[in-house]
C-alpha cells in the first residue's frame, strides 16, 4: 500500500515566522515530527511519501501514486486540513486522520474513513492489524498513555531538511501542573513520561548523519517536568554529545520555576540550550489564581525572568488577556511588565478554552462558549464570551500588540534584554553553510530594515549600540531585528 503522509498548511501566525524565514530562504519553521514518527510505525514494505504543504504543493501525481492518505494536524491547521481531505476524497483515497485536531474534534469532520486518535504508539498498531485483516473500525482511541521509551526514531529521510529552519525532537510528554486553560494534561497526563537519554541521542545522531548542523527544538510542553531524569540523564548526555558536534543548539518550553534552580540553569546552558519559552500569562495575581497557574503565584516574575536571562538563556514569553479578573487597566500593566522584563519574543493572545480543558467544561456549563476556537494564539479571536465588554477587550488587545511591536518599544526591549543577558562562553564551531545563511540574512536585514524599513532609525541605533556595547551578542541582535519584522507584519495583517 502506497501511503501519502500529508501535513496541512499553517496560516500566517505569530509562531509561523513566515516573514522572518524569507531572510534565510527557508520555507517552514520545522518538519512534522508526529507524521515522521508515524511513518516509522508503518509496515516496512509499504512505500511512503511525505507532503508538507508548508514546503510544497500537494500535486496530482502524489494523489495518483497513493492508495492511502495519513493526515495529522493541529487546530490552527483546520481549514487546510478540510481542503486536503476533500482532495483525497476526490482522488478516491482511503483517508486516515490523527493528531491533536482530530483527537479533540473528530466529530466535526466528514470524508475520513478512519480516525486514529490519542497517542499513535497505542492506537496505530491495532488499526494497522485490523486494516490488513479487512475489518478496520472508524475510530481508534484510548484513555491510556504510551510508554515513550518504545517510540521509534522519526523517518527524517522523508523530509527535505533544507526547507526548514529548525528540527524537532521530543524527550517527554505530560506536565505536572494543572493550568485551567491548557489541554496538555488532557492529552498527555500529569505525570511526565520521559524517553531514555540514549533514544534522544540516537535521534540527534540520525539528524547529524543527514547533515543537520543547526538548531533543534525540544517540543516538550515542559522539559523540566521531571527534573531528576533531566539533570541526571539527559543533560549530561547532551553535554557529552555536543563536544565534537558542529552547530548543535537547542531550545524548548519550561515553567518559570526553572529560575529557582541554579544548577539546572547551568546544565541547560552547558548542554546547548539558548532559549526557553515560558508561560507567564499575566502579572496579575488574581488572574493567575483564577486559571490555577499556581507555579507563577507569589513570585517576583520579572526577577525570575532576569535570573534566567543572566544565566545565558533567552526567555520567550506567553501572555493571555481576557481573564474574568482583567480590567481596563490590565492592558497597560501588561505592556509595562513585558517592557521591563526584556522579553523580546512576547506572544500575547486572548484567552481560549480548548476542548477537554477544565476551563472549557466550566464555561460550557455557564453558557459562555461560542464557536470553535481558531487555534491561532494571536489572531484576536476567542471562543469565550468574556466578562469584560467585548469591544473594550478587542480594542485593548489591539493596542497591546501595536504598542509592543511598534519599532521604538520593540527595539528598546531588545536593549533591555541584552543588558541582562550573559552569553555562554561554551563555543561550538559553526559550519560554513550556517555562517553563509546568517551572513545573507544580515545583508538582507540591512537592505530591508536598515534602508527601506520604517524602523530604519531604530535599526541603526541598535546596530551601533550592540556592536560597541554587546559585541558578543551582535548575531543575536540581528536575529531579533528580523523577528521584529515578522511580528510587526503579523500584527498589521491579523490585528489591524
**Among the three residues 399, 420, 441, which one is the final residue of a domain in this structure?**
420
Q: Which domain holds residue 238?
A: 166-420
Q: Which residues contact 489 (CB under 8 A, 6 or more apart)?
A: 12, 19
**Among the three residues 378, 400, 420, which one is the final residue of a domain in this structure?**
420
pLDDT tens-digit map of 448-475: 999 999 899 999 999 999 999 999 999 9
Looking at the fold, whether 263 and 402 belong to one and the same domain comes out as yes
Looking at the fold, whether 70 and 50 belong to one and the same domain comes out as yes
Reading the block at residue 466, the C-alpha cell is 550592540
Q: What is the distance between the alpha carbons of residues 76 and 80, in angstroms, rounded to a whole number?
A: 9
496 has a pLDDT exceeding 60: no
The CATH number of whichever domain residue 119 belongs to comes to 3.40.50
202 has a pLDDT exceeding 60: yes
pLDDT tens-digit map of 76-102: 999 999 999 999 999 999 999 999 999
Q: Are residues 222 and 192 in contact, defined by beta-carbon separation less than 8 angstroms?
A: yes
Looking at the fold, whether 125 and 218 belong to one and the same domain comes out as no
Looking at the fold, whether 326 and 240 belong to one and the same domain comes out as yes
* Farthest CA pair distance, the chain: 69
**What stretches of 61-163 adopt beta strand conformation (E)?**
68-72, 94-98, 114-116, 139-140
Quote the pLDDT of residue 429: 59
205 part of a folded domain: yes
Q: At what angle do helices 390-404 and 330-341 cross, to 10 degrees?
A: 20
420 has a pLDDT exceeding 90: yes
- Single out the residue of 56, 55, 59, 57 nearest to residue 21, CA to CA: 55
Q: At what angle do helices 474-494 and 432-445 cross, to 10 degrees?
A: 60
72 part of a folded domain: yes
- Single out the residue of 222, 488, 455 nearest to residue 378, CA to CA: 488
pLDDT tier at 172 (50, 70, 90 boundaries)? Answer: very high
Quote the pLDDT of residue 432: 73
Looking at the fold, whether 259 and 202 belong to one and the same domain comes out as yes
369 part of a folded domain: yes
Q: What is the distance between the alpha carbons of residues 204 and 197, in angstroms, rounded to a whole number?
A: 11
**546547548: which residue's cell?**
272
Quote the pLDDT of residue 247: 81
Quote the pLDDT of residue 436: 82
pLDDT tens-digit map of 393-415: 999 999 999 999 999 999 999 99
- Calculate mean pLDDT across residues 41-66: 98
Q: What is the distance between the alpha carbons of residues 270 and 1, in angstroms, rounded to a whole number?
A: 46
Looking at the fold, whether 22 and 75 belong to one and the same domain comes out as yes
383 part of a folded domain: yes
Q: Measured between alpha carbons, how far is residue 449 from residues 282, 417, 423, 459 in Å?
A: 31, 21, 25, 7
DSSP state of 451: I
pLDDT tens-digit map of 365-389: 999 999 888 888 788 899 999 999 9
**Which is more confident, 451 or 246?**
451
Looking at the fold, whether 176 and 68 belong to one and the same domain comes out as no
**Which is more confident, 433 or 215?**
215
**Among the three residues 366, 393, 420, which one is the final residue of a domain in this structure?**
420
pLDDT tier at 218 (50, 70, 90 boundaries)? Answer: very high
Which of 97-111, 176-190, 201-215, 257-271 shows the lowest mean pLDDT across its residues?
Answer: 176-190
69 part of a folded domain: yes
Q: Residue 471: how many CA atoms within 13 Å on its side-chain side?
A: 1
Looking at the fold, whether 479 and 360 belong to one and the same domain comes out as no
145 part of a folded domain: no
- State pTM to two decimals: 0.95
| 18-24 own/partner pairs: CB under 8 Å, 24+ apart | 18/486, 19/485, 19/486, 19/489, 19/490, 20/482, 20/483, 20/485, 20/486, 21/165, 22/444, 23/440, 23/441, 23/444, 23/445, 23/448, 23/482, 24/165, 24/437, 24/438, 24/440, 24/441
Quote the pLDDT of residue 390: 95
Domain count, the chain: 3
Looking at the fold, whether 105 and 170 belong to one and the same domain comes out as no
446 has a pLDDT exceeding 80: yes
pLDDT tens-digit map of 424-440: 876 665 677 777 888 89
Q: Which residues pair with 94 in a beta bridge?
A: 68
222 has a pLDDT exceeding 80: yes
- Calculate mean pLDDT across residues 115-140: 98
Looking at the fold, whether 136 and 58 belong to one and the same domain comes out as yes
Quote the pLDDT of residue 209: 96
The CATH number of whichever domain residue 177 belongs to comes to 3.20.20.70
The proportion of the chain whose per-residue pLDDT surpasses 90, expressed as a percent, equals 89
- Calculate mean pLDDT across residues 253-264: 98
pLDDT tens-digit map of 322-354: 999 999 999 999 999 999 999 999 999 999 999
pLDDT tier at 495 (50, 70, 90 boundaries)? Answer: low
- Calculate mean pLDDT across residues 228-249: 93
Looking at the fold, whether 67 and 212 belong to one and the same domain comes out as no
For residues 477, 479, 482, 484, the Cα torsion angle rounded to the nearest 10 degrees is -60
- Provide the phi-psi class of 8: left if phi over 0, else alpha when psi is between -120 and 50, else beta: beta
493 has a pLDDT exceeding 80: no
Q: What is the distance between the alpha carbons of residues 348 and 318, in angstroms, rounded to a whole number?
A: 6
**485483516: which residue's cell?**
133
336 part of a folded domain: yes
**Mean pLDDT of the residues in the chain:** 95
33 part of a folded domain: yes
Looking at the fold, whether 123 and 184 belong to one and the same domain comes out as no
Q: What is the distance between the alpha carbons of residues 435 and 429, in angstroms, rounded to a whole number?
A: 10
Label the pairing between strands 94-98 and 114-116: parallel
Amino acid at each position: 500500500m502506497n501511503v501519502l503522509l500529508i501535513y496541512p498548511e499553517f496560516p500566517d501566525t505569530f509562531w509561523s515566522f513566515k516573514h522572518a524565514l524569507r531572510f534565510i530562504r527557508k520555507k517552514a519553521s520545522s518538519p512534522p515530527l508526529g507524521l515522521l514518527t508515524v511513518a516509522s510505525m508503518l509496515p516496512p514494505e509499504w512505500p511512503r511519501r511525505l507532503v508538507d504543504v508548508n514546503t510544497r504543493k500537494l500535486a496530482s501525481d502524489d494523489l495518483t501514486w497513493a492508495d492511502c492518505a495519513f493526515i495529522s494536524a493541529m487546530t490552527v491547521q483546520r481549514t487546510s486540513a478540510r481542503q486536503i481531505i476533500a482532495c483525497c476524497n476526490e482522488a478516491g483515497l482511503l483517508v486516515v486522520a490523527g493528531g491533536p485536531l482530530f483527537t479533540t474534534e473528530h466529530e466535526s469532520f466528514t470524508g475520513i474513513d478512519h480516525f486514529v486518535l490519542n497517542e499513535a504508539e497505542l492506537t496505530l498498531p491495532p488499526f494497522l492489524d485490523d486494516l490488513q485483516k479487512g475489518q478496520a473500525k472508524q475510530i481508534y482511541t484510548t484513555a491510556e498513555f504510551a510508554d515513550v521509551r518504545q517510540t521509534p526514531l522519526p523517518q527524517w529521510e522523508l523530509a527535505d531538511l533544507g526547507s526548514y529552519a529548525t528540527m524537532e525532537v521530543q524527550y517527554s510528554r505530560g506536565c505536572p501542573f494543572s493550568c485551567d486553560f491548557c489541554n496538555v494534561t488532557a492529552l498527555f497526563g500529569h505525570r511526565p513520561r520521559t524517553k531514555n537519554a540514549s533514544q534522544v541521542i540516537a535521534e540527534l545522531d540520525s539528524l547529524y548523519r543527514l547533515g543537520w548542523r543547526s538548531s533543534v527544538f525540544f517540543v516538550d510542553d515542559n522539559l523540566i517536568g521531571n527534573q531528576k531524569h533531566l539533570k541526571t540523564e539527559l543533560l549530561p548526555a547532551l553535554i557529552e554529545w555536543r563536544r565534537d558536534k558542529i552547530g548543535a543548539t537547542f531550545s524548548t518550553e519550561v515553567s518559570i520555576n526553572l529560575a529557582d534552580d541554579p544548577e539546572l540553569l547551568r546544565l541547560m546552558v552547558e548542554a546547548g540550550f539558548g532559549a526557553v519559552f515560558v508561560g507567564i500569562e499575566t502579572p496579575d495575581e488574581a488572574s493567575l489564581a483564577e486559571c490555577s497557574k499556581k507555579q507563577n503565584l507569589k513570585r517576583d516574575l520579572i526577577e525570575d525572568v532576569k535570573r534566567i536571562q543572566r544565566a545565558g538563556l533567552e526567555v520567550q514569553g506567553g501572555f493571555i488577556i481576557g481573564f474574568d479578573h482583567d480590567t481596563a487597566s490590565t492592558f497597560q500593566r501588561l505592556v509595562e511588565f513585558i517592557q521591563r522584563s526584556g522579553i523580546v519574543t512576547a506572544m500575547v493572545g486572548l484567552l481560549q478554552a480548548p476542548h477537554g480543558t477544565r476551563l472549557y467544561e466550566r464555561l460550557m456549563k455557564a453558557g459562555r462558549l461560542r464557536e470553535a476556537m481558531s487555534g491561532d494564539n494571536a489572531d484576536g479571536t476567542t471562543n469565550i464570551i468574556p466578562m469584560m465588554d467585548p469591544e473594550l477587550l478587542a480594542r485593548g488587545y489591539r493596542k497591546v500588540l501595536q504598542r509592543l511591536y511598534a519599532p521604538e518599544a520593540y527595539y528598546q526591549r531588545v536593549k533591555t534584554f541584552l543588558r541582562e543577558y550573559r552569553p555562554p562562553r561554551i563555543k561550538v564551531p559553526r559550519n560554513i553553510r550556517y555562517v553563509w545563511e546568517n551572513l545573507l540574512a544580515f545583508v538582507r536585514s540591512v537592505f530591508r530594515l536598515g534602508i527601506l524599513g520604517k524602523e530604519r532609525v531604530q535599526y541603526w541605533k541598535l546596530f551601533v549600540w550592540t556592536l560597541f556595547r554587546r559585541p558578543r551578542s551582535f548575531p543575536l541582535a540581528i536575529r531579533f531585528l528580523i523577528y521584529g519584522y515578522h511580528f510587526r507584519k503579523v500584527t498589521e495583517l491579523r490585528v489591524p
